[in-house]
Amino acid sequence: MAATYTITIDVRTNQTSATPDYTYPPISFTIVPDHASSVLLSSDKPSPQIYGTPVTFTAAGQGASSYEYRFWLDDGTTNTVKRDYSTDPTWKMTKAIFPAAYVDPPLGTYTITVDVRTDLTSSTPDASVAITSFKIGSGVTFTAGANGTVTPTASLAQGLNNGDVGAPVTANPSTGYHFVNWTGDNGFVTTTVNPLIVTGDGLGHAITANFAIDTFTVTFITGANGTLSPASATTQTVNYGDSTAAITAVPNALYHFVNWTGYTPLPSAAANPLTLTNVTASYSITANFDVGTTMVPDGNLGYGGTTDDAMLAMQLATGSIPTTAGDLAHGDVAPLVNGRPQPDGKIDIGDVIVILRKALGLITW
């Protein structure tokens, strides 16, 4: 133990004598403590931190072999011992250690000080060191909604006091989606700024990045001498990767459908009706027609020009079954002009009569 001691030596020759033959002059001897020259202090998490996040502070004495440590917490008003001298070099800051006077959450800036001593009876530390400006802030967290991510991971939870400027966070949409906005609670103002930097307001916020699927406009245009059916499908809004509704190119009388142009690659330039699949961009697609010299409607709807073709034409004319482009190409035979079909773009009772008369051999062309 550190102290000043007096050492006296007696000498005797008679081992039974209680009186020494000679006593050497006393020697004063002082044992001084093995003092620490300094102390280091570190934390396992950087400032700032969200209230309630445990932070462990670790001290390391220098210049001696054994130490005791005492930890203080200064909130700017009161400096309080939070852990008295102990050989344990660590102290954990948790919710429980904050001053009772604080209203939850105890946002603020703190100074953490550690004292070190080697003389276990000394009230005066050998050395002290402090970590200043360690901030405990309200929690600002960032999450991604469906179909996207937010980065960097290290910045997704931030502790911010009033006026503190946070680290930037970026919203990243998945393929086929786009960033919409940031929304949050506790009065957070919705914004489209990306990357986002939040300034602390003492309230804490849970902020979400929102994403939406990309959409594209596909416009179908009719060239000269034809129409498109249904008319409601000529302009379509299509989600990324989805398909369009089918659309049919209908030639005017004496014309026939040739192809579609304006989109590469088409599933088939001559496909009619046409459906585009896996749409990933906006397009304008034109239906092209040519004069109908290459084909005159023959009244053959699949039964070889027999009365069965007339029966099928009756079903088409009454709407019992839908009319296709192929049906029109063969069955739109009325009216007859100079003995030849003059298609009018529909199959009606006039076409039925003409097809029946041709099947019976009463007319031909």
Question: What is the share, in percent, of the chain residues with pLDDT greater than 70?
Answer: 93
Domain segments of the chain: what residues? 38-137, 138-213, 216-294, 307-359
- Residue range 219-238, pLDDT digits in tens: 999 999 999 999 999 999 99
- Residue range 55-81, pLDDT digits in tens: 999 999 998 888 999 999 998 888 999
Q: Are 110 and 72 in contact (CB under 8 A)?
A: no
Of the candidates 246, 188, 238, the one whose C-alpha atom is nearest the C-alpha of residue 215 is: 238
Predicted model pTM? 0.54
Question: What is the share, in percent, of the chain residues with pLDDT greater than 90?
Answer: 56
Average pLDDT, integer, range 9-38: 82
- Residue range 88-147, pLDDT digits in tens: 999 998 877 665 544 444 677 899 999 999 978 888 999 999 999 888 877 899 999 999
Q: Is the pLDDT of residue 356 over 90?
A: yes
Average pLDDT, integer, range 144-156: 95
- Residue range 232-275, pLDDT digits in tens: 999 999 999 999 999 999 988 778 888 899 877 666 677 888 99
- CA within 13 Å, CB half, 89: 13
Predicted confidence band at 282 (pLDDT cuts at 50, 70, 90)?
very high
Q: What is the DSSP string of 113-167?
A: EEEEESSTT-SS-SEEEEEEEEEEEEEEEEEE-TTEEEE-GGGSEEEE-TT-B--
Q: Is the pLDDT of residue 32 over 70?
A: no
Higher pLDDT, 82 or 105: 82
Cα(130)–Cα(73) distance, integer angstroms: 10
pLDDT of residue 102: 44
- Architecture per CATH, domain 38-137, reads as Sandwich (2.60)
Angle at which helix 307-318 crosses helix 349-359, to 10 degrees, equals 180
Task: Pull the structure tokens for residue 58.
Answer: 């670790």
- Residue range 157-192, pLDDT digits in tens: 888 877 889 999 999 999 999 999 999 998 899 999
pLDDT of residue 267: 62
